[in-house]
Chains A and B, each alone.
Chain A
Amino acid sequence: MRTARRIASRFAQMVFVLWAVATILFLVFRLMPGNPLVAYIDPTFTEEQQQELLQRFGLDRPLHEQYVIYLGNLLRGDLGDSFFYRDSVTSLLWDVFPNTLALTMVALIIAYVIGVLLGALLAWLRTSRFEGIAIPLVLLSRAAPEFWLGMILLAIFSFQLGWFPAGGAFTAGSEAAVGPGRFFSLDFLRHLFLPALTLAIYLHGLPLLLMRSNMLETLKEDFVTMARMKGLSTWSVLVRHAARNALLPVLTAFALGIGYSIGGNVVVETVFSWPGIGRLLVRAVSASDYPLAQGAFLMIAAVMVFMNFVADLLYNVLDPRVSQDA
């Protein structure tokens, strides 16, 4: 009962945050400099044609009326039509969302698997020579700009060696690009490899460092000493006792990382011509395409808030102490 009430209250918080985000987005886009019609209308249009367009998009109404219409549509799941593409925002977003999700998930999973394993290893090998080399390298990968890393990988593995295609999600005109099975085709995976690798290299530093410091803490705890005293093997102590406990915060970071990365792939998407939400978003913002930019930001915010919610629940399951404290 108590758990149910807490979940309900978390859910209500989530809805409130989404409303706040939606409102801020609404205001931000209308206060931006520049007339949205400049991007949309051919300047040769007559005054009447311009007025007609303003009316069609409701841009001639007072701000509060626009806001009420906007919220009403939002509740019905209608994000409006893009000024630029003249197509529904929902369908534009759904077109590219699976690509972004695939890129993000693959990159995150690689980053976290490698990060966790290396992190645990580095904690174990504390003060070794290996650590002296590995830690600066990890910090470097974290600090290197993504576009630079992406271009280097492109230049080596695509332009020079020719192992992987230089961009896009499918080979030009490929029939594999049609239908729901497309995300499991070999063609898609070959195109996914370089962008996912770039993103994974960029992302793996966080779980690695997190895991390492957690492990260092955990290894000092009494139950680890206890396990050692019981005569368990090093492997068993490390993996079954220490790592399991050190993993908790990393899992939370993973859930939140999905949210953060969904919207943050713009650079990688541009370098690799990857058809994702980031590119759509950048185009929308520079063209003052309010509805599309709003929709994209809202979608990213929704994923982020939702993953926060999931992380919360996950914590309850993984660490019962959290629910007892509440």
Chain B
Amino acid sequence: MKQWMSLAGFTLALALVAGAFAQGDRIRSIELLSRPQAAAPQEFQSAQLIAQAWRELGLDVTVNAMPWEQLADVVWYERDVWDVTAWQMVGRPERGDPDEIVFNLFHSSTAESGYNFIGYNNPAYDAVAEAQRVETDPDARQAIVAEAQQIINADQPYMFLVHPQVAYAFRSDIWSPDSIVEQNGIGIKNFWSFIGAQPASDQRDMILNSADVVQAINPFYISGAVDSWITELIWDRLLRVGPDGLPQPWAAESYTWVDDTTIDVTLRSGMTWHDGEPVTVEDVVFSFEAPMGGEVPMYAPFVSGIESVEALDDSTVRFSLKQPSAAFLVTSLAKVNLVPEHIWGPILADLVDDPDNAESYQEDMPIGSGPLSFVRWRASEEVVLETNADHFSAPSYDRWILRIVPNSEAALGMLRRGELNFLSAYAGDPQILVDTSQTEPINVVASTDIGFRFIGFNNRRAPFDDAAFRRALSLAVNRNLIAQAAYRGFAVPSNSPVSPALPFWHEESVMNFETGIDLAKSILEEAGYTTDGSGRLLYPDGVSETLD
């Protein structure tokens, strides 16, 4: 009875409020941020198409382009002031495990200064994101990750646009096409192609290109994307993410889970560092303990789940974890580079009394145990590595040479001339690349990226704090149009943070979404949004616009 009374009172109050503010406020002008046309043509074009669709809903939208440095400054460090922004997540092999994407991007704990820069906050989602983290049974975890994707679909904290397809190419007269491996979500430019490529001619050098310079060759510091191509080859890891996206033994001969939080790893025997010293279990323990100290901040998160690591005998290392972790194999064992204690031990000890840390330390002659060893590096010219013949998986060519080529057209010209034989970066029109391959011995492979392009709604700010509003905005935009017009067909539509390039984790059901202006309008209508005489969109009855 009492409940009925209060409900009646509430309804009455609601009616009064509604009467006082017959119509909701007009929605303010919305600013859509993007990088400029010159720097990110596809992103800028997408933003224009999206603004067009939103205007049809009765919103006043301006696209505001700014250089990346400024955009990142606003979006990342002033999280309360912007409305909507175009953004991207790039694909990396370790993102082959969904944890980083499912947890870091949307869990409320990372909203203040971490990856959840849009300020998405849904306790139900938080629970699911946490659950997938500790579930070690793959099938059970798959179901939880699917549920996470369904919640994201319903809430639309992001408006996913596309998973771009990246095109790389190689000379088929120089590399036997069967030996070039396409890794799920990464493409043919990957570790497995680099070590497995079989020469088809007497050219014994793999010559690749990058438009960006290499910043550092350091086992404890990966900054630019290009750096990691090199560190992966010079330094071994216990496991590697395989071409299928799943972890497999590498420098470890095998591993066994003793229980939920204990894993024993057997080190492969007979490995040596590039300076001839043997690789020992002490080196392995050192490699995992080093980031636990203060001198290796970038790798600290990858060992933060480890309670202790100890050598059981001269070939076995035991890892004890703080809590069960499904992603441990990928985010820790397949991530941490094995480094020689006899080199890095003294360096780290010296750094303790220095304001600098291991990240700013550059070895003159980097020493790892990987399939290729360091020869030389000239910042704006090239990096030269040579095959480590003693390695258990040594490449069958002689040298791996990365050329810095800032001019895309010249890079393609070099590939045609044979100055390059593996086009590992290409910013030009992919169609030109495909056309070139029709007449020359060049193989082009376009692969769907693990990464994705999206529009981030600032979930902290009205009207984007309303899931129905976000949903309407998202469904107003035709993703096929974006993929065809802005990306020239080199992209697949997206509605999930987990790329179709990861078939085990990707939830297909969320991909069945229809788009259309009428559909979007009906969702807005249902949620109570109306339009005024001039067609401008209004908040639902009684809602006034409040910022901050």
Given A86-B360, A86-B362, check contact A165 B419 (CB 8 Å). Answer: yes
B244 contacts which chain A residues (CB < 8 A)? Answer: none
Query: Which of A86, A92, A177, A275 touches B359 (beta carbons < 8 Å)?
Result: A86
B138 in the interface, Cβ–Cβ < 8 Å? no
**Quick check: which of B12-20, B409-417, B457-465, B485-493 contacts chain A, the rest being far away?**
B409-417
Query: What CA separation (Å) do A165 and B399 show in the bound complex?
Result: 20
Q: Interface stretch among A117-125, A208-216, A265-273, A307-315?
A: A265-273
B212 → A minimal CB distance (Å): 9
In the bound complex, residues from chain A placing their C-beta under 8 Å from that of B72 are: 38, 43
> Counting CB contacts under 8 A, is A204 at the interface?
no
Measured CB to CB, the nearest residue on chain B to A158 is B413
Q: Which of B389-429 contact A (CB under 8 A)?
A: 399, 401, 403-407, 409-410, 413-414, 416-417, 419-420
Q: Would you call A275 and B378 a contact (CB within 8 A)?
A: yes
A166 touching B413 by the CB < 8 A rule? yes
Q: How far apart sit A178 and B381, CA to CA, in the bound complex (Å)?
A: 12
Query: When chains A and B are docked, how far (Å) is the Cα of A86 from the Cα of B382?
Result: 18
In the assembled complex, B379 has its CB within 8 A of some CB on chain A: yes
Residues of B near A155 (CB, < 8 A) are 413
For the complex, give the distance between the alpha carbons of A271 and B213 in Å. 15
B152 is an interface residue with CB less than 8 A from chain A = no
Whether A39 contacts B223 by the Cβ 8 Å rule is no
Interface residues of A in 38-52 (CB under 8 A from B): 38-39, 42-47, 49
What residue in chain B is nearest A275 (Cβ atoms)? Answer: B380
Rounded to whole angstroms, the CA-CA distance of A159 and B417 in the bound complex is 7
Q: What is the number of residues of chain B that contact chain A, defined by CB distance less than 8 Å?
A: 48
Q: Interface 1/0s, chain B 467-494, versus A by CB < 8 A?
A: 0000000000000000000000000000
Question: A276 to chain B: which residues have CB within 8 Å?
Answer: 380
**Contact indicator A170/B381 (Cβ below 8 Å):** yes
Which residues, 120 to 172 on A, are CB-close (under 8 Å) to B?
A: 151, 154-155, 158-159, 162, 165-172
Of the candidates B70, B104, B356, B406, which one forms a contact with A279 in the assembled complex, judged by CB atoms under 8 Å apart?
Answer: B406
Q: Let me know if A95 and B379 touch, CB within 8 A.
A: yes
Contact A168 B77 (CB under 8 A): no
**Nearest chain B CB to A314's CB is how many angstroms away?**
33
Stretch in A9-17, A107-115, A280-288, A297-305 touching the partner:
A280-288
Residues of A within 8 A of B376 (CB): 178
Closest A residue to B212 by CB, please name it: A283
User: CB distance B399 to A173 under 8 Å?
Assistant: yes
Residue A180 interfacial (CB < 8 Å)? no
CA distance A320 to B259 in the complex (A): 93
B11 at the interface (CB under 8 A from A): no
Are A273 and B403 also in contact (CB < 8 A) when A56-B356, A95-B378, A159-B413 are?
yes
| A44-B115, A158-B413, A166-B414 as given contacts; A288 in contact with B69, CB under 8 Å | yes
State in angstroms the CA–CA spacing of A45 and B67 once bound together: 22
Give, as a whole number of angstroms, the nearest-CB distance from B138 to chain A: 27
B401–A173 touching, CB < 8 Å: yes
Query: What residue of chain B has the Cβ atom nearest to residue A45's Cβ?
Result: B297
- B111 to A: closest C-beta gap in Å: 13
Hey, which chain A residues are within 8 Å of B297, CB to CB? 45, 49
Main secondary structure on B side of the interface with A: mixed
Chain B contacts for A273, CB-based, 8 A: 403-407, 410
Task: Tell me, yes or no, whether A85 is within 8 Å of chain B by CB.
Answer: yes
Q: Does A34 contact B (CB under 8 A)?
A: yes
- Chain A residues whose C-beta falls within 8 Å of the C-beta of B36 in the assembled complex: none
Given A87-B362, A166-B419, A167-B414, residue A275 in contact with residue B381 (CB < 8 A): yes
Set A33, A44, A46, A177: member contacting B70, Cβ < 8 A = A33
Task: Tell whether, in the assembled complex, residue B405 and residue A173 are in contact, meaning their CB atoms are under 8 Å apart.
Answer: no
Which chain A residues border B215 with CB–CB below 8 Å?
Answer: 84-86
Which parts of B332-373 form the interface with A (CB within 8 Å)? 355-356, 359-360, 362
Neighbouring A residues of B406 by C-beta, 8 Å: 270, 273, 279
Q: Which B305-329 residues have a C-beta within 8 angstroms of A?
A: none
CB-defined contacts of B104 to chain A, threshold 8 Å: 44
Residues on the B chain within 8 Å of A92, using CB:
379
Q: A56-B355, A159-B417, A279-B380 are in contact. Are A44 and B223 (CB under 8 A)?
A: no
Cβ–Cβ < 8 Å partners of B417 in chain A: 158-159, 162, 165-166
Would B409 and A35 count as touching, CB distance under 8 A? no
Q: Closest CB of chain B to A33's CB: distance in Å?
A: 6
Name the residue on A nearest B376 (C-beta). Answer: A178
Give the residues in chain B near A189, CB-CB below 8 Å: none
* Distance in Å: Cβ of A59 to nearest Cβ of chain B: 13
**Contact A42 B407, CB 8 Å, known A34-B70, A166-B413, A173-B207:** no
Interface residue ranges, B against A (CB under 8 Å): 67, 69-70, 72-73, 76-77, 104, 113-115, 117, 205, 207, 213, 215-216, 223, 297-298, 301, 355-356, 359-360, 362, 376, 378-382, 384, 399, 401, 403-407, 409-410, 413-414, 416-417, 419-420
Listed A/B pairs (6) with beta-carbon separation below 8 Å: A34-B69, A86-B362, A165-B417, A166-B410, A172-B382, A172-B420
- Can you name 4 extra interface pairs (CB under 8 A) apart from A38-B73, A178-B376, A276-B380? A42-B298, A86-B360, A168-B403, A177-B382
Q: Which A residues have a C-beta under 8 Å from some C-beta of B?
A: 33-35, 38-39, 42-47, 49, 55-56, 81, 84-87, 92, 95-96, 151, 154-155, 158-159, 162, 165-173, 177-178, 270-273, 275-276, 279-280, 283, 286-288
